[in-house]
Amino acid sequence: MANAELYIGLMSGTSADAIDAVLVDFGQPPLKLLAHHSVPLDPDTRAAVHNLAHSGANEIDRMGALDRQLGRAFADAALELLSLAGLDPAEVSAIGSHGQTLRHRPPEGAGPANGFTLQVADPNLIAHLTGITTVADFRRRDMAAGGQGAPLVPALHQTLFHSPKADRAIVNVGGVANLTWLPARGAVLGFDTGPGNNLMDAWIQRSLGKPYDEGGQWAAQGQIQGALLKRLLEHPYFRLPPPKSTGPESFHLGWLNECLDALPGPVGAEDVQATLLMLTAQGIAASIDGLSVEGRHREVFLCGGGAHNRRLIEALTALMPDCVITDTGALGLSPDWVEAVAFAWLARQNLKGLSGNLPSVTGADSSQVLGAVYPGRPKRSRTE
């Protein structure tokens, strides 16, 4: 492929439902998505990820085993993607692997000393099994500079989606929901708004044995419970100013159960689901409203799994009636692949010695080249 500059991005989010793999050509500015592939994680692996989100017995050994298991799975996903695209690994410059987050403890005070983040999916294995140079561990360098280590995708959002004519919000609704605020004029901002799909997924899994609420259909059958919603919104995270980030360590079924137990009476399972959906919607809408400037046109573009939740879109539309709410497909990139593309982009930034974080978003004291490099096999010349 003449003038091609190929990178692979690998991503598994906090929902731990699948490994997303994309093949991106940066030789066609700003980029072209050439191929994509999603590999579902089996229920046992998904359970292993969620169980390691909280401390428990034998967790170091369990983590080590999962690190190796996911390393192989990520490598397989990359090789399957290349097979679908009809390409050889030698044609790819690098893989950017986000890995699977097991713990994210952002700093709560000044300085980086009290924050850490942990992703697994052994990049040594990915590089060895694919033969492709792999860039991984993107978040910790930002934390070393005093940042939250998240969100990192806003840097790509700025590159692809900024408009000088409107203030834009790019909202990724994965397990956690995060927002990138792209004002027509001014600094880019971004932060996690609170739960995305993770609580809804966990609740329907417990209640109905389903992995997720397709289209929000079950939530649509319930009624929002004001007392429960009020208690959920009392979580201190919602009062924190940005920069901020969060994860299932803060928003999980144990916390939801505590909120339910504090109510005077029982709540129907479908009503809990409806209320959790509104919690996600209100977290997003309140964050956008808090950044908006009166009289300026604003646009909202969704990505991630939540972009397919019709009930969530209806709730957001009701909360922000002056906004046209659509997804990033309207901007030229499918909502399903934005995050994986971002880690292909971050790998390229690393190899070119370019920064990948936005200090205005993460709170880092400076721009940083993110990630560690794990070399692949030496490329053979065409004359060999």
AA letter at 265: G
What does the alpha-carbon distance between residue 141 and residue 316 come to, in Å, rounded to a whole number? 34
What does the alpha-carbon distance between residue 343 and residue 231 come to, in Å, rounded to a whole number? 36
What would the DSSP string read from start to end of 114-160? T-EEEEES-HHHHHHHH-S-EEE--HHHHHHTT------THHHHHHH
Q: Residue 249: CA atoms inside 13 Å, Cβ hemisphere, count?
A: 17
pLDDT (0 to 100) of residue 384: 44
Least confident of 36-50, 350-364, 370-384: 370-384
Token pair recorded at residue 242: 């940005």
pLDDT (0 to 100) of residue 113: 57
What does the alpha-carbon distance between residue 138 and residue 370 come to, in Å, rounded to a whole number? 5
pLDDT (0 to 100) of residue 236: 96
Q: Write the CB contacts of 280 (distance below 8 Å, at least 6 apart in sequence).
A: 173, 177, 194, 195, 196, 197, 199, 200, 306, 312
Burial of 236 (0-12, 13-18, 19+ CB in 10 A): exposed
In 3-state terms, what secondary structure has residue 108? coil
What is the band of 2 on the pLDDT scale with cuts at 50, 70, 90? low
pLDDT (0 to 100) of residue 6: 98
- Section 79-97 average pLDDT: 98
Summarised one tens digit per residue, pLDDT across range 168-199 is: 999 999 999 999 999 999 999 999 999 999 99
Residue 54 has pLDDT above 70, yes or no: yes
What does the alpha-carbon distance between residue 220 and residue 207 come to, in Å, rounded to a whole number? 15
Name all domains of the chain by residue range, CATH numbers in brackets.
6-149+338-374 (3.30.420.40), 154-331 (3.30.420.40)
pLDDT (0 to 100) of residue 112: 47
What does the alpha-carbon distance between residue 211 and residue 193 come to, in Å, rounded to a whole number? 23
- Section 212-228 average pLDDT: 98
pLDDT (0 to 100) of residue 175: 93
Residue 94 has pLDDT above 90, yes or no: yes
Q: What separation in angstroms does the CA of 255 have from each of 50, 103, 178, 230?
A: 15, 17, 20, 14
pTM (two decimals): 0.94
Summarised one tens digit per residue, pLDDT across range 21-40 is: 999 999 989 999 999 999 99
Token pair recorded at residue 63: 């983590």
pLDDT (0 to 100) of residue 381: 45
What does the alpha-carbon distance between residue 145 and residue 303 come to, in Å, rounded to a whole number? 28
What does the alpha-carbon distance between residue 240 and residue 309 come to, in Å, rounded to a whole number? 27
Residue 20 has pLDDT above 90, yes or no: yes
* Exposure letters 104-119 (e unless 16+ CB within 10 A, then b): bbbbeeeebeebebbb
Q: Percent of the chain having pLDDT more than 90?
A: 88
Mean pLDDT of the chain: 94
Q: Percent of the chain having pLDDT more than 70?
A: 96
pLDDT (0 to 100) of residue 111: 44
DSSP label at residue 334: -
What's the per-residue H, E or C state across 52-71? CCCCCCCHHHHHHHHHHHHH
Residue 56 has pLDDT above 50, yes or no: yes
- Section 272-287 average pLDDT: 98
Summarised one tens digit per residue, pLDDT across range 228-269 is: 999 999 999 999 999 999 998 899 999 999 999 999 999 999
- Section 141-159 average pLDDT: 95
Please list the residues that pair with 374 across neighbouring strands: 134
Residue 382 has pLDDT above 60, yes or no: no
What does the alpha-carbon distance between residue 279 and residue 173 come to, in Å, rounded to a whole number? 13
AA letter at 204: I
pLDDT (0 to 100) of residue 377: 83
What is the band of 84 on the pLDDT scale with cuts at 50, 70, 90? very high
Summarised one tens digit per residue, pLDDT across range 303-347 is: 999 999 999 999 999 999 999 899 999 999 999 999 999 999 999
Q: What separation in angstroms does the CA of 265 have from each of 17, 87, 96, 191, 259?
A: 33, 59, 49, 35, 12
Residue 110 has pLDDT above 50, yes or no: no
Q: Count of CB atoms within 10 A of residue 382's CB?
A: 5
